[in-house]
Chains A and B, each alone.
Chain A
Amino acid sequence: MKFEQLDMDLLQAVADIKGIPSGAVNIRRNGEAVFRHSSPNIIIATNPENKGLIVEVKAGTKGETVHVPVILTDSGFHDRVYNTFKIAEDAEVTIIAGCGIHNDSHSDSSHNGIHEIIVGPRAHVKYLEKHYGEGRGEGKRILNPTTVVRVENGGSIEMEMLQIKGVDDTIRTTTAYVQEKGNLKVVERLLTHGRQKAESDIRVEIEGQGAAAQILSRSVAQDDSYQLFKAALVGKNECTGHVECDAILMDKARIKSIPQLEAEDANAVLTHEAAIGKIAGEQLIKLMSLGLSEQEAIDTILEGFLR
């Protein structure tokens, strides 16, 4: 399979890869798998409906990484994919997903990824998903990921989702179920600008005894952009849960943040914290007093905040 420079750039932006990485890989371009490679411990196969992947990580796998990036370069293309990740017991794996869209045309391009992740007993998963859009066209770059996560007894998953500029419209829906002594951490970082819209709707049901969940969101909204952040934690047992939403608002942007806690057990400890505000004037002044221009100071503060 031959990749063009454009493909390589997108792959680098969403999955941090130069060339084809070693280990298990599936690269999807404009709706088709254009490169696939399984490893002895990680098997990638097409699902029976031929609409996506089944990735199986064998029990006891240690320290492996699987890359499953998606790129869209045909303008006006609407992609939809169903992927399932099954991580067997005691495995430790990093999943690098991510989607990059290049759109130079007038028509919209979109990718709807539906992921199901099953974290087996005592398995540990790191899941990274980066969104990226580019191109000069008027056509929108739209990404609507839906993720369902099941964390089984004693398993853990840390999900990091990143979207910095370039994506015009996004509705992200994440639902998670955490069993006994399971642990889930979701970290979202988002920057919107121009007339972009981003919506994130997370619901975590903490079902098992001794389970824990954490949802952290850091976001920056610039220009005329709009962000809606909904995070619901449901505590159904003796468990702990925390939602934190921290946002910087600039220009004429708008942010709506709705944390929601539902406790169905007297031993559930659920907390939330939300803060929306502009960049603190004293932070700007401090950095300017070290010689940065006002714009450099703003960039430095935002970069740190979203790191």
Chain B
Amino acid sequence: MLKLENISLAVNGQNGANKEIIRGIDLEFHPNRLYAITGPNGGGKTSIAKIIMGIYKQSGGNIYLDGENINDLSVSERARKGIAYAFQQPPRFKGLTVSDLMQIARPGLDGMNLRTSLRDVGLCPEDYLDRDIGPGLSGGEIKRIEIAQLLARDAKISIFDEPEAGVDLWTIQKLIAIIMSKFRSKQGETAVIITHNENVLHIVDEIIMVEEGQIKDRGTPDEIWPLIRHEVECKMKEQCRGEMVYEI
């Protein structure tokens, strides 16, 4: 189980003053459960994931993995303990191929499983295995490869940061279904999906709504969905000076 206790994060704002982008968050993620984190842009979702991975160091609070305080563990150490994060915007590399990166993600991955992992995310292995993770790959392709790495890792906690972003309408359902079925069939693993995708929000066990660096609401899709709809309506009205332009 992963536990965040009173986590906050301050960064240097534009005027040099400290800006708190995460404010006193308490969260628990249990094995065999699927979570979605959603909320408006800039709310703090990616920041929470990066704090968990150790990429950002929290300014206050504690993180526990299976009861052990992991505050002082580096990114590499947390990865080896079973935390995995698929980046919202994965970096590109010159000279590293898809196959290289998959082998790093899952050392000893054999050829057959490597191919299956790519097929799972909708990529034809023959076309991609030897391709550079460089400027020659499209945004959607990079995202799929990022997801494939996490699926291959079999980590205790897998965090996907907007896996749907940039993935086309034709295959997105399939991709979501694959992620879901992988986790539903595995014992003892936790998946956290940061998402704006309605379909994902309907099929997870729990939704966590993050706004302005805080947890606004959390609960089952049935509990949270009406709140989200209401929020969206309010936002629309706000933006359009009270006039409803779109029927939601």
Contact = CB atoms under 8 A, between A and B. Distances in A.
Nearest to A302: B95
Contacts of A289: 53, 55, 75-76, 79, 84-85, 87
Contacts of B153: 290
Nearest to B133: A304
A285 B95 contact: no
Given A246-B94, A283-B91, A290 B74 contact: no
A22 interface: no
Consensus secondary structure, chain A interface: helix
A290 B105 contact: yes
A282 B79 CA distance: 16
A290 B100 CA distance: 12
B80 A282 contact: no
Contacts of B87: 286, 289
For chain A, give the interface size range: 20 to 34
Contact of A293 (B76, B84, B85): B76
Contacts of B75: 285, 288-289
A290 B95 contact: no
Contact of B90 (A286, A293, A294): A286
A300 interface: yes
Contact of A288 (B74, B90, B94, B105): B74
A303 B94 CA distance: 10
B76 A305 contact: no
For chain B, give the interface size range: 20 to 34
Most buried by A among B74, B76, B79, B85: B76
A306 B95 contact: yes
A306 B55 CA distance: 27
A301 interface: yes
A290 B91 contact: no
B104 interface: yes
B95 A304 contact: yes
Interface string B58-94: 0000000000000000111001100011010011011
A285 B85 CA distance: 11
A300 B104 contact: yes
Most buried by A among B74, B84, B95: B95
Contact of A291 (B55, B79, B90, B91): B79
Nearest to A291: B79
A246 B101 CA distance: 22
B38 interface: no
A183 B145 CA distance: 36
Interface string B103-137: 01101000000000000000000000000000000
Interface string A217-259: 0100000000000000000000000000010000000000000
A1 interface: no
Interface of A: 218, 246, 280, 282-283, 285-294, 297, 300-301, 303-307
Q: Which 10 A-B pairs have the closest CB atoms?
A: A304-B95, A291-B79, A304-B96, A288-B75, A282-B91, A288-B76, A307-B95, A305-B95, A290-B105, A283-B91
Given A286-B90, A291-B79, 13 more contacts: A283-B91, A288-B76, A288-B79, A289-B87, A290-B149, A290-B153, A294-B74, A300-B104, A301-B96, A304-B95, A304-B100, A306-B95, A307-B95
10 contacts: A218-B94, A287-B104, A289-B76, A289-B87, A290-B104, A290-B149, A291-B76, A292-B104, A294-B76, A304-B95
